[in-house]
Amino acid sequence: MIPNLRKTARKLGVMLALLFMATIQNAIAQQDSQYTQYMYNTVSVNPAYAGSRGHISTALLHRSQWVGLDGAPTTQTFNIHSPIGYRGVGLGASIVNDKIGPTSETYVDIDFSYTVYTSSEGRLSFGLKGSAHLLDVRFSELNQFTTDNSLQNDIENKFSPNFGAGVYYHTKKFYAGLSVPRILQTLHFQEGSDPTTAQEQMNFYLITGYVWDLNDNTKFKPTLLTKLVTGAPLQVDISANFMFSEKFILGAAYRWDAAVSGMVGFNISNKFLIGLAYDREVTELGKAVFNSGSFEAILRYDFISTKGNLKSPRFF
């Protein structure tokens, strides 16, 4: 009896929350996708990273957030980027698919970067991102308790363009980047005399990290990602990863006033990385019986041409 009551209450709460979000009459801040393993997925937030690994690099990521909560966010990303023949130029492409409740969003991005040498080790890159956004909102999936004319017609593949920019600096041990992946503040959902809108706000990212060689077999890499969005709390992610024998990666992270995370990774070869992360909310949401935390997995493959020389896996 109690499990059934919990299930019914859970579904009712989610439906009410989704209905509230769908019918709100003023603009709200819409944020970009959230990643725990951002240190392996930098090109998704900064176009200047494209080509910085020195070879063709691909990554596939899946994130399930707040597992157990009906309509909770899920995200899939795929990206590929590489330097091209002309010195200093990098190109990349990525697809990001987000789903939350009755809403699905797909971004198709093209990244361009240009790198200048600032020293024997320093590289400074400037990047531009062009983006196509497709939006689906399935109002028909909502259980509506009142009739609202603005929620009668589903939105299918609504297109909007966008662009972004970033700068990225790195040496063999240090990196830092500043970026705004989407600059245009596009209005989504419905327009008219009584609009239902959500405004896509600019997301400002600061990312940085450093690699210390603790000994011949152990590397230590602390990282920081800060995201600033108008109308939303400042997000600060602090993480620390250890790499052992160029193979095993073990780490932890803290998302300020939001979640704690554990991360593991394994370099199957000097080309192939697999990474897993688990988040647990430290907010009231994390105490809910129907929330089992968030899970994230990433696969990254680098097309490295060693030409007889063994390369160590790149830690960022």
Domains of the chain: 2-303 (2.40.160.40)
The answer to whether the beta carbons of residues 131 and 108 sit under 8 Å apart is yes
| The token pair that represents 15 in the structure block | 């439906």
CA–CA distances in Å: residue 105 to residues 22, 30, 161, 172: 15, 12, 13, 36
CA distance 71 to 264: 27
CA distance 75 to 277: 14
Identity of residue 154: D
The closest of 251, 213, 257, 252 to 235, measured between CA atoms, is: 257
The answer to whether the beta carbons of residues 76 and 297 sit under 8 Å apart is no
Q: In sequence order, what are the residues at sequence separation of 6 or more whose Cβ sits closer than 8 angstroms to the Cβ of residue 281?
A: 66, 258, 259, 287, 291, 293, 294
The answer to whether the beta carbons of residues 263 and 238 sit under 8 Å apart is no
Digits of tens for pLDDT over the chain (316 positions)? Answer: 444 434 443 443 443 344 334 333 333 445 688 899 999 999 999 999 999 999 999 999 999 998 888 888 999 999 999 999 778 999 999 999 999 888 889 999 999 999 999 999 999 999 999 999 998 887 666 665 555 555 556 777 789 999 999 999 999 999 999 999 999 887 765 555 555 556 677 899 999 999 999 999 999 999 999 999 987 888 999 999 999 999 999 999 999 988 999 999 999 998 999 999 999 988 776 666 567 889 999 999 999 876 655 566 678 8
Alpha-carbon torsion 17, 233, 296, 163, what sign?
A: positive
CA distance 314 to 82: 15
| The token pair that represents 300 in the structure block | 């990254």
Residue-wise pLDDT tens digits, 75-113 = 999 999 999 977 899 999 999 999 988 888 999 999 999
Alpha-carbon torsion 244, 254, 284, 8, what sign?
A: negative
Phi and psi for 40 in degrees, rounded to 5? Answer: -105, 5
Q: CB-based burial of residue 153 (10 Å sphere; 0-12 exposed, 13-18 middle, 19+ buried)?
A: exposed
